[in-house]
Structure 1
Amino acid sequence: MTATEQHASVRYVVDDVPAALDFYTTHLGFTVGLNAVPAFAEVMRGPLRLLLSGPTSSGARATPEDARGAGRNRIHLIVDDLDAEIDRLRVAGLPLRSDLVAGPGGRQVLLADPAGNLVELFQPAAR
């Protein structure tokens, strides 16, 4: 297998593409990629290419019934100041899906996009 792109791509199945597009671009610093249509949108943040597939997109239709649901998988975004990010998201009215968790590698908190897909905000421990 050869890599032809300089991005890692992740697909999230979402219920409402415009709502997901707004969530990622407004609150998490993503920019719109090449594709943004009613059934599908592509957003980018650094080397991450996030594919937002609505119910009528081919990506959503290809998901077997027994594989649907958010599970524990999530994208992992590194932030410089987790406390400031938590405050900013709360002011924007976004509910967090976990308490702040601290461990030897750093601190993290989870939030969910409008379709329930998890996003982990992570601040590495000072070295």
Structure 2
Amino acid sequence: MTTDVDTHFAPAFADVTRRTLWTRPGPGGWNRGHLIVGDIDTEVTRLRAAGIAFRSEVISGRRTPVEPCQPRT
């Protein structure tokens, strides 16, 4: 599968659409991926089975809810 960039806010974020992967990372190194999937563990297993290399395990956030700041009254 390949990816089409839908939204690009370099260097922090890019929203991509998954397509058939035919190439490996080229010069310039590895990129971080942002995957929107129903089950990340299943998707990682599928990608690894297809020969995709990962530099590390999946990293999860702290799962701390974000609370908006309330203006002073």
The higher relative CO (CA closer than 8 Å, separation ≥ 6) is in 1
Normalising by the smaller structure, the TM-score range is 0.3 to 0.5
Which structure's residues are more often strand, by fraction?
1
> Which one has a bigger Cα radius of gyration?
2
TM-score, normalized by length of structure 2? Answer: 0.42
Q: Which has the higher helix share?
A: 1
TM-score under structure 1 length normalisation: 0.27
